[in-house]
A and B are shown apart, each in its own frame.
Chain A
Amino acid sequence: MGFLKNKIFIYLFVLSVALSGCAKPLILVNFVSNYGDFNRVTSGGVKAFYTDRTLGDSLKLIWNEKTHGGYANTFLRAYKDILFVPDLSGIITAFDFKTGKELGAIKNNGEIRAAPILYKTTLIFIVNNLNENYGTLHFYNLTNGWDYKVKIPFGSKGELLGTKENLFVLAKNGTLYKFNYQRRKLWQTNATGLTFCSPTLDANQIFFGNQKGELISVDSKTGKIWYRRKISAGFEGGITSFNGSLFIGDKNGIVYKVSTDEGRVVWKFDTGSKIKNFITFHNKQIFVGNLAGKLYSFNMDTGEVNWTSYIGGVINATPLIFNNYIVQPNLNKNTYIIDINNGKIKRTIKFDNKCRTAPGYYQGMLYFGIDNGEIYAYEVIE
């Protein structure tokens, strides 16, 4: 094999390796945006995880692309026709929402577990840094690539909470930060206590739970802790608010409805296995999935069970709610389309790998994030 001694082959080989390791940086010179199309803020009547659409029987696969890393059980966000996909290798990849064409990527050293938030031309996201005991909050200008960074000790495992003017970050050690979009830290409150929770906002109060099972309420304007009540063995998932009530599941599988004003438990129900995702709701029903693969529908007011559906696998990701169906990803490589009224499985979409992220809906397109860094985009035919 003496021909391999030829230098030109060595140079070409090295060059191809170098080129394949590079991804185009994400700079969108002409990018203009107001406030994002979907955001999980729950105040002002905006409902979480719900889209006021009816899902038809047909889904057509339009495109399928890969990102560099895999995903946490987070959300896929689309703003202004661009799908932003954060992955666990620390990269946010931007795709054209319709065609799947890769527009660029923002690379970091660590993991990105939470969905980014867009404010005008600034993409905000948090990276848990590799080989470090902290995270970094990035304010990335999409038009020129400038990146402003703020160190967040211990990093964060939950979602960012964005309102029209401000941004809230809950660090792993229980410290809650408030920033404005001009990158200024307005206050921080240390609620002490390990937390992986994703906070929610309801009537000027921020709520979150922690590993000790405490429910904590913080004034969103001043940062003052209103109350902390131990109501559970510990919380790991997200907390959802609606009309003065909070809904959260704990690590023993108990679902709680709690009043926001006092942190009083209104009702609770034991599903038997840990709950890690957000509790979703629609039309007086709330929906809860647990790690044992069971999905429940409860009456929001009374806690009565409307139906249960055993779909198997592990329910880790938050579902997406349509008017007629629940789209529930599962780690057993299936995503289930479930009748919202009776819990029956209408359709199963099979993938090659575990379904990780909560599904995202944007302008007639339904997106799924699958293990091993794959994004599937389906067209929804209503």
Chain B
Amino acid sequence: MLKKLLKYFAFIFFITFQIASAQFYSFGRNKVHYESFDWKIIKTKHFDIYYYDNFEEMAEIGANYAEEAYHDLKIKFDGLVTRRIPLIFYNTHIQFEQTNTTPGFIPEGVGGFFEFLKGRVVIPYLGSLEQFRHVIRHELVHVFMSNKLHNVIKNHRVTTDRYPPLWFVEGLAEYWSYRWDTQADMVMRDAVLNGLFVPLSDINRIRGTFLMYKEGQNFLQFISQTYGEDKILLLMENYWRFKKFKEVLEYTIGEDLQTIDNKWVYRLKQHYYPLYKNDYPHSIHSKKLTNEGFNFSPNYFKKDSTSYIYFIANRTGYTSVYELKYESKAKKMFEPKLLIKGEKSALFESFHLLKPSLTVSSKGDIAFVNKSGGSDVINIYSVIDYELKNTFRFDNLISLSSPHFSADGNQLVFNAIDRKGFSDLFILDVENGHINRLTNDYYNDKDPIFGKDDKTIIFSSDRTDGKYKLKYNLFKYDLSTHKVKYLTYVNANIETPRFSPDYSELFFNCDYDGTFNIWKLVKDSNNEPKGIKQYSKFLTSVFDFTFVNDSTVITSSFEKFSFQFYELNLNSLPDSNSVFVPNEFNSAIDKWLAKKLSVKSKRDKLKYKRKYSLDYAVGQVLTDPIYGTRGGALFSLSDLMGDDRYQFLIYNTAEVQSEFLKNFNIAISRLNFGKRTNFGYGIFHFSGQRYDIRQSDQFFFERIFGGYFSLIYPFSSFDRIEATVSLANSDRDVITKLIGRKAILLSNVISYVHDNSLWGPTGPLDGSRFRVLMGYTTDIKFSNVNYYTFVADYRKYFRLGLRTSLATRASIFINDGKEARRFIAGGSWDLRGWRRWSIRGEKLWLSSIELRFPLLDRIYIKFPFFGLQLAGIRGALFFDAGGAWDRKYTETLGSLGGGLRINLFRVITLRYDIGKKIEKNFTQFQPKLFYQFFFGWDF
């Protein structure tokens, strides 16, 4: 057993090495590196700042933010990080998603991270300097906290196998990096007022969610206000004293957790409940139009006397473009129609849900932004003809958002982030594709719309200076003079301006009273902007809205932790508490200037050169009464960007001292992910007893050494081609120490892989994945081995409901020729009911159909001294069929039954199946039932 474990241990780490059976492979999407980044470094007093392209100006601003944050945090933490901290800046989120500093995929909502292995801080620039500053500080809090705790633990010489709970880690990072802002307050209001709030004693229920971040931040704010700011640092300085964080908390605060929790909840209720006096939920003054998913960017259009709303939403797990019929007096909710399927093909690779990304013209064209390849594109789609008319991609513009048509539908104004990191405004001529740049600076200019007669652009920007510096106010850009003028000057953030259909009034979202609501611009008798007047007073934010007519809007609003559409009559809102805020243009001055860190010396501005450091090193020595002692080690080195890696595996399977050198196993690989084509190559020497798949419980000795080279080229996130060639010398015992077999094996394998599947908790639920593989292995010297390989494995998932799916699989595996290796099947992963890996043959076919559904969302069993909770228990009903043979087909095997699946801690899925085998060439069921327990994801 131990030898098998060690064998598969090596196998798992060299998946590109496909000389052996091609059965164990992976699907998966691709992290495509559309460009190679030409990295440069700025060295400051405490940081090495990595940037590329023309991002130098923003990098110098970021460097200043970092040094400021360092100075502040060393005082807060009463400690220093004495090593140099690598900060890696990406110009946009799209390029950030290509980073190799972390192996996994980065979702849209991730604004940066601190990576522990090499202590790297990796941050995308999202167009706003204030947000950039916030994220830099947030991640540096992680760096300092990690350093502090490490020192506390090390200096006290207590075990290091502990870390504070995530709510504290992220809550602290938010609390010590930024103020309590509108977004934070919106989330907490919603949670407290709608019964979604989770007390600290139960906070693991929302682990990893945005609510957890904000609850953590709020809780630390409460601790500071109630017990003193010094308690926050004390929580870390006392960390050594108790194993459980709960005890550290109670010791530091001096009260038990229940009391602290009660006080916190009481404080929150005191703060938020009075809001009901003047504010109201969306469901009170507006009519709900959608009920599921996350719905954004509503745009109204009437065609053929029927009204529709066009929008972007995630209702199934895939973000897509939808059309929703709208009738003002309708009593029921209409079901949206899917117009464009997102996240399944390269053209509509992914959407940006939280940014305004869709607009509709008077001609019935919708323009929407999505990611496709290495940048965003604008697609023009006709909702009259239901066809895609055009796709625009711009060479130096990476991230796009907020498209808006001119009145005649011939022009489109939008926001884009370029290679310098500047977030500016552009106008596209839809007919000829020509673009004009309107602004060119580091202020975040966003949400542009055309003014009346299309002669001006109204937009939101953080260029506000003076008394309300950095607030997002509205500005007017004159297209003839190219001058920018303040339209509002208030102590609030203003976004998403929208004209009424007749252009007589300008409405927008504003957070003056703590949450984004609908306000209007008020003009004086000279038609100059006088101030802003509040219209709605919803408890939670309006994110976006579109006019249906002069008095009715459709809003995309946040309530009960979802984003739904509401129909709102502006004239029906209570006017009694409406607020008017005058503009204070006297306090306004022109634009602010960002401070940069002055780096003049050539010594401090360098080109990036690869330096390698250890990622991890794992060693193990095992001993058992039968096989004696085995040992091995695996370690990995990579450069700072994670583009280039070296892996070393070494282990020994000798049973006696004399076999020590003979049974030495070693493999060295280099893997490079820096360019679009990933490649790897390596050498290996494996020697030891191998399990003979032909004969049960028999082993043969084999020594194999050689080298391999692999290439992977991704066409998109969903499709790739893989190719491997290997050459190895193989010496094997056919009959132990009597008859041997030598061969010099040359193996060539090529595969095409596709995967756009959407995963649920235990396996895929939607989409499809397949692999087609062809290979040829031959002994080029002794002609002892000569076989070809063909594998086709196709899996398709038919969505029946949000969490229910019908999964199908059809696979064929063929090795044909001399000394062709066998494939194996049987067990919980394919032919259920049959003994694991008991079905063997040089040819194998498998087919399955399985209904996957949710069974129990949550079950909690409370024992006298502890509680046990299991969540997300799913069920399955399945039917499997297959067969294996060498030369002649013998029989078809099958099984059918049902099972349970539980995902434990998002790491492993446990499976339990019950059913009946179909035996004797598919003619009869087994007399009794089989019961099979194992682990592993659904196919």
Q: Which residues of A contact B (CB under 8 A)?
A: 1-5, 68-71, 87-89, 111, 128, 130-131, 133, 194, 211, 234, 236, 251, 273-274, 276, 291-292, 313-314, 316, 331-333, 353-354, 371-373
Contacts and interface: CB of A to CB of B under 8 A. Distances in A.
A194 B252 CA distance: 10
B99 to A, nearest CB: 31
Given A130-B241, A354-B82, 10 more contacts: A2-B656, A2-B657, A4-B629, A5-B629, A69-B155, A88-B156, A211-B230, A273-B75, A292-B75, A314-B79
B631 interface: yes
B242 interface: yes
B836 to A, nearest CB: 30
Nearest to A10: B623
Interface in B140-178: 151, 154-158
A353 B254 CA distance: 34
B337 interface: no
A320 B75 CA distance: 22
B78 interface: yes
B361 to A, nearest CB: 57
A251 to B, nearest CB: 7
Contacts of A3: 657
A108 B619 CA distance: 33
24 contacts: A1-B628, A1-B654, A1-B657, A1-B660, A2-B657, A4-B629, A5-B623, A68-B157, A70-B151, A70-B154, A88-B240, A89-B157, A111-B240, A128-B241, A130-B240, A194-B228, A236-B230, A273-B75, A276-B78, A291-B74, A292-B74, A313-B74, A332-B80, A333-B82
B660 to A, nearest CB: 7
Nearest to A131: B242
B251 interface: yes
Given A291-B75, A292-B75, A313-B80, A133 B630 contact: no
B71 interface: yes
A314 B156 CA distance: 21
A304 to B, nearest CB: 25
A234 B228 contact: yes
Contacts of A291: 74-75, 78
Nearest to A333: B82
A69 to B, nearest CB: 5
Contacts of A236: 230
B156 A69 contact: yes
Interface in B56-114: 71, 74-75, 78-80, 82
B243 interface: yes
Contacts of A71: 155
A1 B631 contact: yes
B584 interface: no
Interface in B628-660: 628-631, 652, 654-657, 660
Interface of B: 71, 74-75, 78-80, 82, 151, 154-158, 228, 230, 240-243, 251, 254, 621, 623, 628-631, 652, 654-657, 660
Contacts of B78: 274, 276, 291, 314, 316
A292 B230 contact: no
A70 B71 CA distance: 24
Contacts of B154: 70, 372
A132 B228 CA distance: 23
Contact of A2 (B230, B251, B621, B655): B655
B241 A331 contact: no
Nearest to A3: B657
Contacts, number: 91
Contacts of B228: 194, 211, 234
A133 B251 contact: yes
Contacts of B75: 273-274, 291-292, 314
A14 to B, nearest CB: 14
Contacts of A5: 623, 628-629
B74 A2 contact: no
A234 B228 CA distance: 10
B465 to A, nearest CB: 26
Contacts of A314: 74-75, 78-80
A2 B654 contact: yes
Contacts of B660: 1
Contact of B630 (A1, A68, A131, A316): A1
Contacts of A89: 155-157
Contacts of B240: 88, 111, 130
B621 to A, nearest CB: 8
Contacts of B652: 1
Closest 8 CB pairs of A and B: A70-B155, A89-B157, A291-B75, A88-B155, A4-B629, A331-B80, A88-B156, A1-B629
Nearest to B251: A133
Nearest to A313: B80
A353 B81 CA distance: 11
A190 to B, nearest CB: 14
B579 to A, nearest CB: 36
Contact of B156 (A4, A111, A251, A331): A111
A3 B660 CA distance: 10
A131 B74 contact: no
Contacts of B158: 130
Contact of B79 (A131, A194, A331, A373): A331
Most B CB within 10 A of own CB, among A87, A130, A236: A130
A68 to B, nearest CB: 6
Contacts of B79: 314, 331, 354
Contacts of A2: 628-629, 654-657
Given A131-B242, A131-B243, A70 B156 contact: yes
Nearest to A272: B75
B568 to A, nearest CB: 48
A130 B157 CA distance: 11
B154 to A, nearest CB: 7
A354 B80 contact: yes
B657 A371 contact: no
A332 B155 contact: no
A371 B155 contact: yes
A1 B664 CA distance: 11
Contacts of B82: 331-333, 353-354
A371 B158 CA distance: 15
Contacts of B155: 69-71, 87-89, 371-373
A251 B230 contact: yes
Most A CB within 10 A of own CB, among B155, B241, B251: B155
Nearest to B241: A130
B911 to A, nearest CB: 36
Nearest to A290: B75
B580 to A, nearest CB: 39
Most B CB within 10 A of own CB, among A291, A313, A332: A291
A55 B713 CA distance: 68
A381 B7 CA distance: 64
Contacts of A354: 79-80, 82
Most B CB within 10 A of own CB, among A1, A70, A194, A251: A1
A219 B872 CA distance: 65
A371 B79 CA distance: 12
A272 B154 CA distance: 31
Contacts of B628: 1-2, 4-5
A4 B155 CA distance: 35
A15 to B, nearest CB: 18
Nearest to A273: B75
Contacts of A69: 155-157
Nearest to B158: A130
A89 B159 CA distance: 12
A111 B154 CA distance: 12
A372 B654 CA distance: 40
B928 to A, nearest CB: 44
A1 B6 CA distance: 15
A333 B228 CA distance: 30
Contacts of A88: 155-157, 240
Contacts of B71: 292
A229 B243 CA distance: 38
Contacts of A331: 74, 79-80, 82
